Amino acid sequence: MADPIRINSSANIRQSEIPSAQPQTQPPANGTVFADMLSKAGEVKFSNHAQKRLESRSVEMNQENMARLSSAVDKAKAHGGKESLILMDDLAFIVNVQQRTVVTTVDVNQRSQGVFTKIDSVVIAESNKQ
């Protein structure tokens, strides 16, 4: 027969030894705030391959173009896109929508035969200027 479980009520437990119900939060060591982390989570990133493609073609992504690209990724996500072709001016971006990462980029002069495979959606990045 198994021994019953006994609780020693005479044990002295200090309040400091009882784990707190609320987690102790400390600000991150680098000073990053949660809002900053959240805003960065929405940013579009570029894979090493995509970065090299942009550099080799001397393409610079300014703030306006990054905003247009981010908006296009948001549209693709809203419509269930997973691997999207985003067309913006004379550039084409293949984007992993879930990870918000540009996998590769192609400009109009380098499109070869103009065939894109393994995509499930196409989004045209609208110009902010109208």
d(CA 66, CA 59): 12
Q: Is the pTM of this model over 0.75?
A: no
Ranges of each domain in the chain: 44-124
> pLDDT tens digit string along 39-88?
566 799 999 999 999 999 888 899 999 999 999 999 999 999 999 999 99
What string of DSSP letters covers 96-110?
ETTTTEEEEEEEGGG
Read off the pLDDT of residues 4-49 as tens digits, 9 standing for 90 and up: 665 555 555 555 555 555 555 555 555 556 555 555 667 999 999 9
